[in-house]
Amino acid sequence: MRGGGSMNKARVEAFTDAIIAIVMTIMVLEIKIPEGATLWSLLRERAYFLAYLISFYRIAATWYNHHYLFANAQWISRKVFWLNIV
């Protein structure tokens, strides 16, 4: 911690990167393709895959925006730290 209750941004970024990496990994591991699935049977599940792709995209966009927001900061206040956690 730095004086005034602030911390180096690298720790907050690393924590957020780890959380997002875990979430995205779990999402990929949860994809179940049935045994003997055909292209037609997978097409019937397209709404499921579309929802997955949209969710994956939103998480990736959140990660990118987080990186952009923190790009010029050197120190993070406690308030920003806790808002980041939430």
pLDDT tens digit sequence for 36-47: 878 888 788 888
Query: 6: closest CA among 81, 67, 64?
Result: 81
- Pick the residue with more confidence: 42 or 62? 62
Domain ranges (residues) in the chain: 6-85
The residue type found at 48 is Y
* Mean pLDDT of all residues belonging to the chain: 87
The DSSP secondary-structure symbol of 2 reads B
* Per-residue confidence (pLDDT) for residue 30, from 0 to 100: 85
The fraction of the chain above a pLDDT of 90, given in percent, is 38
Any bridge partners for residue 37, and if so which?
none
Q: Would you say 49 and 57 are in contact if contact means Cβ atoms under 8 Å apart?
A: no
| CA 17 – CA 84 distance, rounded (Å) | 12
Please compute the mean of the pLDDT values over residues 51-80 and round it to a whole number: 91
Q: Which residues contact 27 (CB under 8 A, 6 or more apart)?
A: 52, 55, 56, 59
